[in-house]
Amino acid sequence: MNSITQFKEFIWNFYHQNKRDFAWRNIDNPYYILVSEIMLQQTQTHRVIAKYEEFIAAFPDFENLAAAPLRDVLSVWQGLGYYRRARFLHQLAQIVVNKYGGVLPQDPKILQTFPGIGPNTAGSICAFAFNQPTIFIETNIRAVFIHSFFYNSSTAISDKELLPLIERSIDQSNPREWYYALMDYGVFLKARQVNPSRKSAHYTKQSRFEGSDRQIRAKILKIIVDTEKITHQEILDLIGKDTERVKKIISQLVAEEFIQKMNNSYFIL
């Protein structure tokens, strides 16, 4: 692109012809936005669509989510993986209810103090929930700016090089939809060519899930969620392999207070 002006015109034109529609778009309910943003961390959009609707139906607001047992929250979350996010969301709801009267703060610096929320997620929540012109970056936005401004670069591109461009191009009057437009174009690019984000200095290929500790962790949590209480040996028998790894991961889950242990049985409150 020759200029920010041309870039913005191109992105808006693309968006007006190709914009995607999701249940969490074009709404201003901060709770719905928060749920969607946490779900979309490290998870493809098509996997989030049905689970988002199910989660909102089960826990329609901060108060309902905060009051729910963690076991119920994890049960609804099943299928999305990365169970820590469900726990973070549960803790977030309790903080919002107990400390902020059920109203999500609009300050990204405050949001960054919440579990599971870093600078980029805080920025995205404020942009989408409150239409604030916050500056943040995620994988699709990164792909757009690398493709548009560093297409011929032979060196790895740092986010520090992209953030000033993001700031210069943001639509101050409608940042919410501007970010929708960037993300939609990023998805379009990644579907039709080698992911431009591979030129990023921050690019890392996601580790294989099959056979990983993450997979074992997810299996253990699913087993405990699906049973009211289960013994150590029963978990080992159900996993059926990698006994020492399973023991280590169970110990980690207890240390994190993700699961509870009483005598020789495990459960989730």
150-186 confidence digits (pLDDT tens): 988 878 899 999 999 999 999 999 999 999 999 999 9
The number of folded domains in the chain is 2
pLDDT for 95 beyond 80: yes
Last residue of one domain, picked from the residues 89, 114, 130: 130
Please check whether residue 193 lies inside any domain of the structure.
no
φ/ψ of 187, rounded to 5, equals -60, -40
Give pLDDT, residue 259: 93
Last residue of one domain, picked from the residues 108, 130, 152: 130
Instruction: Based on the fold, state whether residues 125 and 217 are members of the same structural domain.
Output: no
Percent of all residues in the chain with a pLDDT value above 90, rounded to a whole number: 78
pLDDT band at 202 (very low <50, low <70, confident <90, very high): confident
Q: Could you confirm whether 234 is annotated as catalytic?
A: no
Beta bridge partners of 231: 265
Please check whether residue 229 lies inside any domain of the structure.
yes
Q: For the domain that residue 118 is a member of, what is the CATH number?
A: 1.10.340.30
Q: For the domain that residue 252 is a member of, what is the CATH number?
A: 1.10.10
62-83 confidence digits (pLDDT tens): 999 999 999 999 999 998 988 9
Active-site pick, 37, 161, 210, 257 = 37
Give pLDDT, residue 214: 87
Distance between the two ends of the chain, CA-based, in angstroms?
Answer: 54
Range of the domain at 225: 213-267
| Cα gap 224→234, rounded to integer Å | 10
Distances (CA, A) of 120 to 112, 124, 138, 171, 236: 9, 6, 7, 18, 39
Mean pLDDT of 183-198: 89
Last residue of one domain, picked from the residues 109, 130, 151: 130
